[in-house]
Structure 1
Amino acid sequence: MGWLKKTLARVGVGSAKAEVSVEQDNIQQGQSVAVSLIVNGGESTQQVDNITFDLCCDFMGWEEVRGTGEQGRKKQRRRITHTLLSWSLPDAFALPAGESRRFETELNVPIETPLSMGDCNVWLETRLDIPMAKDPSTKTPLTIKPSGHIDTVFDVLEAHGLRIEKADCEQDERHPRSFEQVFSWVPISGAYEGVWRKLDVVVTHKDNALDIGMTVHRQGEGLGDMVGHFVGSNKLERSLVISLDDSVELVQDALNNVLQKIT
């Protein structure tokens, strides 16, 4: 191999590339799916020390910034990348120029992975660890569907005449390094139309249970609505804990019972 090709390979020019395919396009929270990886050789033989996979998502949050010569701390709002899961294939191998190698692995999607709704992005990032070279990487977008229990919760809310208006992934103020996904529902029919402005729902996974936090924003009129919005008197907060072992019927009954008590 010529000196020029060796030098280019070390800086990532003409180097190996990764092609990733996931068994299915739509993946449910908590589901395991097969992942295939094909590593295609570049223009020269390269040593691959490791293959790393990161399941990532992003959310809106605050990060501290400080310019040159500035005093004190400043914060700016920006999208933050969060790693949900990492694993690697420790097989080290030499990949000759133009050749390919195939690997199989499994992605175990954590139950707390956010849904692919609103502004939230979820992807699988794959990196090849090549000594003395810029590590080749690839991002595979994923579509995450709700688990069976969350799907049941959504069905109950829809049965009460509510529809999702938006879904936001936001920094969790209690745990700044993590996030929460807020689903905003608006009543378009039924008993809550004209009574509620919206219902915000946050689902948190704790051990073998779902903690469903609900904030009802009541509908008001005129000055009273303005004052109530300012002091928070037009809000009602409720919560419900559901075991992941509960049947669909138990989840439906428990949530219906909470909703019917809110006026």
Structure 2
Amino acid sequence: MFKKLLASVGIGGAKVDTILTKEVVSPGDTISANIVITGGDTEQEISGLDLALMTRVKVERDDTEMVINKPLAQWHIADKFVIQPGEIREIPFEGSLPWETPVSSNGARNNQTRVWIATGLNIDMAIDASDKDPLNIIPTPTQNKVLQAMDNCGYTIFKADVEEGQLRGHDFASTTGCYQELEYRPNEFALFGLNEVEVSFVASEHVTHVLLELDRNFGGDSYRSLTLPNNISLEEVTAQLKSLLG
């Protein structure tokens, strides 16, 4: 009886660890993992097991800016089960990252983008056990060409974050309720006399949509968008960006 009471308040309870096959992935990639559940000091009933792909999102609430944790994708792994004291149970997992997953490895000096896998054991009347596994999200080949093309145009990335809202461009819109902004500033070799360029992606399997917000000395902000096939060359991306930035 005493051991069951301890388990109900999260003392001596079950533990969970998600062991990722690889931690460096790109949007649209398949991720795989082995979820290891270890029983505590007494038998416990687990009401379910779930995984979520999480990111940090900047939001505004009542004129106050704050950062919240937001799920981009969720996976239900297991329904109710009982785990015995000291029992080790392993559950394999495989899932696909959304194409709109923010790029956390982006080279920004002020990089506020964080992406991780959260694992939760739903233990009735207990403190949830949880496990957080960071993911290193690198750009897709097409996204990487856009980043290189911005460098070729003389712009340096200085900040990256994720904001609440929806992106809309010509014939495309984002779907996750948030979007990443990569903020660029001109260096001494910059073209076109812009103060700042904000780059956002809405990627998909066959094409990558790009939305640019241009901050000019005169005339205020303006928006440009383009859609790039995922087999495009760096030279073609650079040429298209120069056309939009000019």
Which residue pairs with 1:77 in the alignment? 65
Between the aligned partners of 1:62 and 1:158, the Cα distance in structure 2 is: 31
Which residue pairs with 2:96 in the alignment? 108
By how many angstroms is 1:85 displaced?
Answer: 0.8
Give the paired residue count: 235
Which residue pairs with 1:257 in the alignment? 240
By how many angstroms is 1:47 displaced?
Answer: 2.0
Between the aligned partners of 1:87 and 1:261, the Cα distance in structure 2 is: 39
Give 2:239's aligned amino acid: N
Per the alignment, do residues 252 and 236 of structure 1 end up closer, same or farther by CA in structure 2, a change over 3 Å counting?
farther
For 1:38, what is the secondary structure of its paired residue? strand
Per the alignment, do residues 97 and 182 of structure 1 end up closer, same or farther by CA in structure 2, a change over 3 Å counting?
same
Q: Is the 8 A contact 1:48 1:130 kept in 2?
A: yes
1:183 aligns with 2:182: yes
By how many angstroms is 1:90 displaced?
Answer: 2.3
Which residue pairs with 1:69 in the alignment? none
Trace 1:82-231 onto structure 2 (pairs within 5 A). 82-90=70-78, 92-116=80-104, 117=106, 118-172=111-165, 178-192=177-191, 195-205=193-203, 208-218=206-216, 220=217, 228=218
For 1:204, what is the secondary structure of its paired residue? strand
The match for 2:50 among 49, 52, 55 is: 52
Between the aligned partners of 2:166 and 2:64, the Cα distance in structure 1 is: 15
Q: Is the 8 A contact 2:153 2:238 kept in 1?
A: no
Which residue pairs with 1:241 in the alignment? 227
What is the TM-score with the length of structure 2 in the denominator?
0.84
By how many angstroms is 1:5 displaced?
Answer: 0.9
Which residue pairs with 2:25 in the alignment? 27
For 1:102, what is the secondary structure of its paired residue? strand
Once the two structures are superposed, what CA deviation does each residue of 1:124-178 show, in whole Å capped at 9, x if it has no partner?
A: 1111122332321111122211112111111111122222111121222679982
Q: Is the 8 A contact 1:240 1:255 kept in 2?
A: no
For 1:200, what is the secondary structure of its paired residue? strand
Q: Is the 8 A contact 2:145 2:237 kept in 1?
A: no
Between the aligned partners of 1:173 and 1:113, the Cα distance in structure 2 is: 14
Trace 1:56-67 onto structure 2 (pairs within 5 A). 56-63=54-61
Once the two structures are superposed, what CA deviation does each residue of 1:46-100 show, in whole Å capped at 9, x if it has no partner?
A: 122321111111111123xxxxxxxxxx442211222111112225432221221
Q: Is the 8 A contact 1:62 1:76 kept in 2?
A: yes
By how many angstroms is 1:205 displaced?
Answer: 3.5
Which residue pairs with 1:71 in the alignment? none
Unaligned runs of 5+ residues in structure 2 are 168-173
Between the aligned partners of 1:111 and 1:129, the Cα distance in structure 2 is: 28
Per the alignment, do residues 93 and 234 of structure 1 end up closer, same or farther by CA in structure 2, a change over 3 Å counting?
closer
CA RMSD after TM alignment: 2.5
For 1:155, what is the secondary structure of its paired residue? helix
Unaligned runs of 5+ residues in structure 1 are 64-73, 221-227
Give 1:247's aligned amino acid: N
Between the aligned partners of 1:217 and 1:145, the Cα distance in structure 2 is: 27
What is the TM-score with the length of structure 1 in the denominator?
0.79
Give 1:105's aligned amino acid: F
Q: Is the 8 A contact 1:37 1:103 kept in 2?
A: yes
Which residue pairs with 1:41 in the alignment? 39
